[in-house]
Structure 1
Amino acid sequence: MTFSVRSVHTLRTVRALAAALLAGALLAGCSTFSEEGRDQYERSQGEPPAAEGAEGAEGAGGEASESAKSVDQPYDVRPLLEPKKKYLGVAADGAPAKMNAVEDFAKRAGKKPNLMEFYSAWGDQYERELVQNAWDYGAVAYIAWEPFETSLKDIAAGKEDKYIREYASSVKELNLPVAISWAHEMNGFWYPWGTKKTSPADFTAAYKHIHDLFAEEGATQVIWVWSPNVINPMPKVKLKPYWPGDEYVDWVGVIGYYAEYGPHTYKSLYGPTMTQIRTFTKKPFIIAETAAQAGERKPADIKDLFQGTAKRDDVIGFVWFNYDKETDWRISSGPLSQKTFREQAQSDSFGFDVTKP
């Protein structure tokens, strides 16, 4: 994006403009919305962490899906990798520990989500109850696993093997499908595992080491997600050096938001990133985090997201970030936005029974 500034009289004004540019780029491209990640970013800017909004909800109802299969027969995730229809995913306040926000989303959207994202810090145990809650609701759990408290070099060197093996063992024992996106947005600068502190070689070595330990433990229930941010805020950072290889990735989880500033069409927001990725892999895309900033353009952005995803056979769905945080990303931010989301979600292309994909 291009800005024209005719007159700048003080250093304070220059700093304010720079801050606006950075905020616009971040909103247009990345999420940085985990609790710890956002708080760290705000502290680095000299700001106190923002208070999180919460919304009461009414139940949407719905019957539970089938429970886990016997550990003697590991859950076969292959039918979930490239389903005939597309995922309608959500990340919602408190879910899946509590389902009120998800049920409210489903009621407003007119359709239950079948992919449910939540965030987990490195060092946390595998949150089996949350994965089970999502599955019982009818959704595959999607975990954004964030390595804040360790270096990627240490992970690759085997210093975290005990923790990784315990985590993998829990995945195997629960025996439910789970999508894991480890160290997302690695091509950005705002996380400690990003471009300022971590090299592509360190990232790929750590990613592959974690994957290999899961394989050794027999935790085959994982759908492995490699999740770069859209390249628009940092176009000079090439993605191929971060690619661990087709044998290590099931989904390419592109992260990008429709914001007031920056690209705001499916082609301009996701196209450059997808085009670059297609030069080195044909793995299916999922829009791993997205939403539209509240405003007059939001209904059009929602329609663009649904229709753009529907048109591409290689995009298997999206996860909507349904939070009121920094801005109101929720589908309920305005009556026309909610109406548009509900209309678009009725498409037979979106949503399916995850037990029978």
Structure 2
Amino acid sequence: MSDHTSSRYGETLITPLKTGAFWSTGKRNTRRTAMGATAIVVLLALISMIVWLSPSDSPVRKLVGDAVKPISTNQQLKTEKSNLLSQLVSMKSTMSTQTAKLTSQQTQLNAALGKAKALQASLSKAKAAESKAEGQVASYKSQLAAGSHGSGVSSSIASSGDATTTTPASGVTTAPPPATTKPNGPVAVQTPSLASIINPTSRYFGLYTDQSPFSFSDSNEVASDVGAEPNVSGYFQGFDAPFRADAVQSSWAKGELPMMTWETQPSVNTPGQDLTAYSLANITKGNFDAYITAYAKAIVANGQPMAIRLDQEMNANWYPWGNGTNGNTGGPEFVAMWQHVHDIFQAQGANNLVAWVWAPNRVNNLSATSGFQEESYTKSFYPGTNYVDWVGMSAYLRPPYSSGETYSFDHTFTLTLKQLRDIAPGKKIILAEIGASEIGGQKSKWITDLFQNLSLPANSDIIGFDWFNHTVTSSTSGIQYTNDWRINSSSSSIAAFKAGIARKDIGYDLGTP
């Protein structure tokens, strides 16, 4: 029988070897196994010796090194990973500590900023109080000086509620003199003549602020920012408020011409309020004569000159005295009202102390389809040469801007200036209410162009401007705009104005703060 036999299941059977291998059990094979193991150990030892004693560039050593290297590299990577994890934990701990320190420092910074804001608010209040005190002291001095001549100015001040009064033996109501008054009495504030006011040797730089002329804190801030003191103090008053002698006196005490905008409407009114009592026709037919007469007499009693801008922007239709509003019918009715008020002042001698300012609105932002831009329409509101001392205008750089807007003096003023010169040839012109919005980013450019045009000989009849230094939110064509008209609304506006007002070719002779 052969070594391989077939089974009926198709399997091949293998017959074991008859001869035994050296690892097989058995006495003789045990000895062989021991000898084989010893030979293997000796062989491995010889190989190790050959490898480590062989040169570094030996093929054998290189072969063994290549086999061992991955094991060594893997161990090194494990070690580096462990080190990196330790560094990461350390860095997280450091970052946590630094974050805590930063949070603490931010808290301290916020607290410091809060204190700084509080101090700034206190400083502003202190400045306002200082300005008010200065105005009161000057007012007292003027009052005493006028009272000693029997002018009656002190009674006007007493009625304003701004002074605590005493009655001396003479029967004239006066305020206690300030502590700095010299033994020989206070010196009255010297004011220029009306003629020199109407024809000034230096141009006017005026401001309307929230507080002037009762407090000059805002005005002083602007003066400090632009390096020039204003010489006009603008303010507003309704047609029901009494004459404020303290306003005029505090303006002159600061060396500024008081310029009052007198509006034929209540000092306080609400939207939709019935103002027909203040219609132009009612004023002309005498309904306010007692009030106007008392006002004129108070101006004479005060004895100091002032400018009055009566019912500004009369060629527009957004005020109660405008055409088509409050029952008014247009230019001739406005002229009749103006002349009536002026005549009452003339009868009381008040026109010797008043520069009358007629100031329509800039014509090229009025309705062209209604004919409001036409010179003949503007002229219909002019009271006449004998009733007006200065002509002027209200004009702003303001949104919404027209498609042809050039953000320039020419676009804002030139068309209206031409009409003023045609309507009232030879009259001095004052830009009675102006300002520029920051919206659109053209304010500094517009300011620079304003001063550039004041340097031109063609504009030598412009004797100055009164700047509306307010921030106002209003609606135009159903869109709300918040316009920051203030001179110091931005660093670029301040820089442009400061450079312009300092020019030596524009006819300004102003003090410095």
Superposed pair shares fold, TM > 0.5: yes
Counterpart-to-counterpart distance in 2, 1:56 and 1:301: 30
Shift in Å at residue 352 of structure 1? 3.9
Secondary structure, in 3 states, of the residue corresponding to 1:286? Answer: strand
Tell me: CA distance 1:276–1:292, structure 2 relative to 1, closer, same or farther (3 Å). same
Shift in Å at residue 259 of structure 1? 1.8
Counterpart-to-counterpart distance in 1, 2:206 and 2:447: 14
Secondary structure, in 3 states, of the residue corresponding to 1:279? Answer: helix
The one-letter code sitting in structure 1 at the alignment partner of 2:408 is T
Match of 2:270 in 1: none
Matches within 5 A, 1:255-294: 255-260=394-399, 261-262=401-402, 263=405, 264-282=407-425, 283-294=427-438
Tell me if the contact between 2:230 and 2:510 (Cα under 8 Å) persists in the aligned partners.
Answer: no
User: Is the deviation greater in 171-180 or in 343-352?
Assistant: 343-352
Does residue 104 in structure 1 map to residue 221 in structure 2? yes
Q: 2:343 aligns with which of 207, 212, 219?
A: 212
Secondary structure, in 3 states, of the residue corresponding to 1:291? Answer: strand
Matches within 5 A, 1:209-248: 209-219=340-350, 220-234=352-366, 235=368, 236-237=371-372, 238-248=377-387
Per-residue CA distance 1:210-257 (angstroms, 9 max, x = gap): 111101001110000001001012242211110100100011121100
Cα RMSD over matched residues? Answer: 2.8
Q: 1:251 aligns with which of 374, 390, 408?
A: 390
Does residue 340 in structure 1 map to residue 496 in structure 2? yes
Counterpart-to-counterpart distance in 2, 1:350 and 1:344: 11
Tell me: CA distance 1:173–1:278, structure 2 relative to 1, closer, same or farther (3 Å). same
Tell me if the contact between 1:74 and 1:172 (Cα under 8 Å) persists in the aligned partners.
Answer: no
Gaps of 5+ in 1: 1-54
**TM-score normalized with structure 2 length:** 0.55
Q: 1:158 aligns with which of 286, 290, 302?
A: 286
For the pair shown, the structure with the greater C-alpha radius of gyration is: 2
Matches within 5 A, 1:13-24: none
Counterpart-to-counterpart distance in 2, 1:276 and 1:245: 14
Tell me if the contact between 1:203 and 1:242 (Cα under 8 Å) persists in the aligned partners.
Answer: yes
Tell me if the contact between 1:183 and 1:193 (Cα under 8 Å) persists in the aligned partners.
Answer: yes
Counterpart-to-counterpart distance in 2, 1:158 and 1:94: 33
Matches within 5 A, 1:1-357: 56=124, 76-149=193-266, 150-197=278-325, 198=328, 199-219=330-350, 220-234=352-366, 235=368, 236-237=371-372, 238-260=377-399, 261-262=401-402, 263=405, 264-282=407-425, 283-295=427-439, 296-311=441-456, 312-326=459-473, 327-348=483-504, 349=506, 351-352=508-509
Counterpart-to-counterpart distance in 2, 1:213 and 1:353: 35
Aligned pairs, how many? 300
- Give % identity: 31
Counterpart-to-counterpart distance in 1, 2:501 and 2:191: 32
Shift in Å at residue 92 of structure 1? 1.0
Shift in Å at residue 209 of structure 1? 0.7
Secondary structure, in 3 states, of the residue corresponding to 1:242? Answer: coil
Secondary structure, in 3 states, of the residue corresponding to 2:364? Answer: coil
Counterpart-to-counterpart distance in 2, 1:82 and 1:267: 25
Greater per-residue helix proportion: 2
User: Is the deviation greater in 194-203 or in 214-223?
Assistant: 194-203
Secondary structure, in 3 states, of the residue corresponding to 1:208? Answer: helix
Counterpart-to-counterpart distance in 2, 1:351 and 1:146: 30
The one-letter code sitting in structure 2 at the alignment partner of 1:304 is D
Tell me: CA distance 1:112–1:172, structure 2 relative to 1, closer, same or farther (3 Å). same
